[in-house]
Amino acid sequence: MSNPRITDLSSFNNDWYNPGNPLKRLLWYYTNLVFFNSGWLPLGGLKVALLKIFGAKIGKGVVIKPYVNIKYPWKLEIGDHVWVGEKVWIDNLGEVVVGSNVCLSQGSMLLCGNHNYKKPSFDLIVQPITLEDGVWIGAHSVVTPGCYCESHSVLAVNSVGLGRLEAYSIYQGNPAKVLRKREFNS
């Protein structure tokens, strides 16, 4: 009999989670490796076309830099004029919706998956992420499962976004807290 007070990874079971067709996942794995998670193809137009072929919904004017890692494009929606910086990781085990005019700075991570540390079996937890229009995710910041970034919110460099980030607010820290309102100069 297992002890309910210790982690027992041998009891881990995520059979309930089905991210898609295994052949499609395998094809995407190699496409991602060659064209996205490398510096081999610096041009974003082909990357956008490949994402669409694999089921992503992508707007116009999207810029995708080298060394980007995207888990499942069929669980990704990106609006118009979005910048995806170098070494961004979109670990979208769940749905990720990115509005228009959003900046994902270099090294930032969008993580839809986590584990339930309260269960010995360390169960997988999957939640969506939404970034509304005008959001800026700073360099090396992490957006956690279930995070909802309202319009024009900012997650500052090296911060961790949890829960709901209010519109036109700047967040910083781990966990990120509101610093001040985001104001635009004319």
Q: Name the residue ranges covered by the structural domains of the chain.
A: 21-179
List of the chain residues with pLDDT < 70: 1-2
Q: What is the pLDDT of residues 57-101, one digit of tens each?
A: 999 999 999 999 999 999 999 999 999 999 999 999 999 999 999
Partners of 112 in the β-ladder: none
Q: Which CATH class is domain 21-179?
A: mainly beta
Determine the pLDDT at residue 100: 98
Residue identified by tokens 């005019």 is 101
- For residue 1, what pLDDT is reported? 53
DSSP assigned state of 37: S
The pLDDT of residue 128 is 98
Phi/psi of residue 68, nearest 5 degrees: -95, 145
The candidate with the shortest Cα–Cα distance to 92, out of 45, 32, 134, 177, is 32
Q: Check residue 5 and give its pLDDT.
A: 86
